[in-house]
Structure 1
Amino acid sequence: MNILVVKLSAIGDVIHALPVSYAIKETFPDARLTWVVEPPAKELLVDNPYIDDIIVFEKKKFKASLGGFLANFGPFRRRLKAGNFDIALDLQGLGKSAAIAYFSGAPKRFGTCDMREFSDKISKPVRGANRNGHIVERYLDVARAIGCRVDEVRFPVVVSQRDKELVPKILAKAGVPEGASYAVLAVGANWPNKRWPTEYYARLSDWLYGKKIIPVFVGGGAVDESLVAEIDAKAEIPPVNLVGRTSLKQLAEVISGSRIMVGGDTGPVHLAAGLKVPTVMLMGPTDAVRNGPYGQTENAIEVDRSCRYCWKRACPKGLDCLAAIRVEEVQKKIEEIIKKEL
């Protein structure tokens, strides 16, 4: 049996879908599983023992021009057809993923409960027991629909031995001695509405130092670089800056060795939850029931605003959404988690 999983989009979204690969192979060990992903998240899937092949969908090449689309469509379609897929799982539920599922030629196609852009006309929406629950379980409901049992929810992320050996050196060079206790803080998020104010992070950073826990900021891109620069300027003690200084797999190893993760609804924070690292997620435009840290939603802190769960990238009211979450609330939650460890 040949199975195609289509999950594109952001790193956090792909992390949420990872347990589907394990569920499929747990139930159908002889199945051949192929995953279609966009370039930013491809690294997460490399060396996954439950994925046999990876097809990269380079959206930019298709959107660049009509010529670009025509030049890339044929080879991409042939690559899909070569998989001889029996089943396609569209975990994206958008027009582009629906097209990929359709052109795969799979006679059976299933999607999530909340499909959009007419994708429900291509793949059958699965409205399972968890249709109002966490997004991880909604994806697993799609796997259950093709007969998968889910005895264990596992987020397979395989870090190479080389990266495991490199990470302590990266940390030491940045200011975290081997054996030191440290916390990872995700400074940014794709949505401006999901970012905690930099002055709050600066205060939390200094507080962590006072607890003998080194604050380590992670992220990527120019926006995150500017945010951590603001934090550095506002903090009494400069935090450790690893923004843009690790690969995704190296970041996973950094997170695995941390005492706690703090951040908004963003990829590195979901990665921490998947790795079972204690995770404090700060939430406003999205809700913890659907998007909170999987397996530890009690560690989500949601804003006390009547307009929360708006699902807007930027606040239509002009509010700094997460500014309603006070530093003291986060400190209290971290202390609760630390006490449980002792």
Structure 2
Amino acid sequence: MNQIKRIVVIDLLYLGDLIFAHPFFAELRKLFPKARIDLIANSNFAEIMRVNKNIDNVYSYNKNWNVLRSYEFAKEIKQNNYQLALNIHGNWRTALLLKIVSADKVIGYGSKGRGIFLDQKVDDTINSHMIDFYLYFIKSLQQSHLLEKYFDRNNSALEVSQISNKREKLFPTLRIENKYIQTAEKKLKDLSLKAGFIVLNTGGSWKTKRWPEKYFAELANLLIEKGHDILFVGGPSDNKRVKDIIFHIDKKEKTYNLTGETSLLELAAVCKKANLIISGDTGPVHVAAAVGTNTVTIFGPSDEEKYAPRGRAKNIIIKNKGLDCRPCGEHECPLKHFKCMREIKAEKIIDLLQTEDLI
């Protein structure tokens, strides 16, 4: 039987989207167990995919590159002579990059005219969680007339009929190498932070995904009153926000801060040591879920049906159920009231944590 020996996948989306793609890569590996599978990822988050055992090489693409540098990058990737390219992102940038990479066959998402360079377009109107959205892509590969000569559908690792039955059973599992665990342990030891702490992640890629700073301070005060140590995490851009929050915390000696001081894989190792992470819908909460940590996610403008964390521990969703305007998916509140976040109070989260026996 013919075999595909070289596959490239492109996804320049955010950290959470890459985490959601882990089951996709596991099933892709089952379909093509002997193939070289490479990934082109957003350089801000590529590190998190380099420990994925189902991916052979991860290439970092900087979205700030100009046209010439992007072209040079794609020409370099082209030298790998891929037989199959998969676009699981589907915007114009990824479509153009794969056009230059020039794989023998290109399959992917491509609505709004962006499928012009595809040999086969995958339906991207599926309304489901992102994990299932990516798994539908696997289903489309199995059914593809372009690939029927490459594998025996009857002996495929993941039967087409089983896709829908695997919902909720497949979730991302992030493997952390020992060196990152050791580095994280040292950072926690240097802070004199003991096991059982609670992580607060206050940032968000959109302004509307960020729960108000004063609410985080109120939540931290309530958790500290109940005997919990608090660790703040995030990227360098979150530093000022976190400092402002800590300023309003009463018992500062019970707060610790690693914001901007960890790599993504170190962050994963830190989250693994935590009892719980509380966050808006942003990358670190999905990392925490993938390492088996309990999560509480505050959802505002984004759709929890599509983006809720999945993992083997508890993954609790908090949302303002009384609003018809959410999820709007907007970076600024169209109605200027931001009720989806402002009407969620710290006391409500404490009540839920007690109900779920998480504190």
TM-score (normalised: structure 2): 0.84
Q: Is 1:17 the equivalent of 2:21?
A: yes
1:84 to 76, 81, 86: 81
- Mapped to 1, the partners of 2:263 and 2:41 lie a distance apart of 17
Distance 1:197 1:70, change over 3 A: closer
- Mapped to 1, the partners of 2:70 and 2:276 lie a distance apart of 43
- Mapped to 1, the partners of 2:326 and 2:75 lie a distance apart of 45
Alpha-carbon RMSD across the aligned residues, in angstroms, is: 2.3
> Can you list the C-alpha shifts for 1:98-138, whole angstroms capped at 9, x where unaligned?
112322323433334xx55532333344338x921101110
The unaligned stretches of length 5 or more in structure 2 are: 143-156
Distance 1:212 1:51, change over 3 A: same
- 1:290 offset after TM fit, Å? 0.7
Q: Is 1:313 the equivalent of 2:331?
A: yes
> What one-letter code is carried by the residue in structure 2 that aligns with 1:90?
N
Matches for 1:1-342 after TM superposition, within 5 Å: 1=4, 2-62=6-66, 69-70=67-68, 72-73=70-71, 75-112=72-109, 115-116=110-111, 118-123=113-118, 124-127=120-123, 131-147=126-142, 149=158, 153=170, 155-177=172-194, 180-222=195-237, 224-238=238-252, 239-294=255-310, 299-303=316-320, 304-320=322-338, 321-338=340-357
- Mapped to 2, the partners of 1:23 and 1:153 lie a distance apart of 10
- Mapped to 2, the partners of 1:71 and 1:125 lie a distance apart of 27
> What one-letter code is carried by the residue in structure 1 that aligns with 2:26?
Y
> What one-letter code is carried by the residue in structure 2 that aligns with 1:146?
L
Distance 1:336 1:88, change over 3 A: farther
Contact 2:294 2:315 in 1 (8 A): no
> What one-letter code is carried by the residue in structure 1 that aligns with 2:230?
P
Contact 1:8 1:92 in 2 (8 A): yes
TM-score (normalised: structure 1): 0.88
Contact 1:89 1:142 in 2 (8 A): no
Distance 1:98 1:58, change over 3 A: same
- Mapped to 1, the partners of 2:69 and 2:11 lie a distance apart of 23
Aligned length: 327
> What one-letter code is carried by the residue in structure 1 that aligns with 2:98?
A
Identity of aligned residues (%): 28
> Can you list the C-alpha shifts for 1:123-154, whole angstroms capped at 9, x where unaligned?
344338x9211011101211222236267635
- 1:216 offset after TM fit, Å? 1.1
- Say which is worse superposed, 150-159 or 91-100, in terms of deviation: 150-159
Contact 1:158 1:249 in 2 (8 A): no
The unaligned stretches of length 5 or more in structure 1 are: 63-68
**Secondary structure of 2:64 counterpart:** helix
> What one-letter code is carried by the residue in structure 2 that aligns with 1:187?
T
> What one-letter code is carried by the residue in structure 2 that aligns with 1:261?
I
- Mapped to 2, the partners of 1:25 and 1:266 lie a distance apart of 27
- Mapped to 1, the partners of 2:291 and 2:69 lie a distance apart of 40
- 1:36 offset after TM fit, Å? 0.4
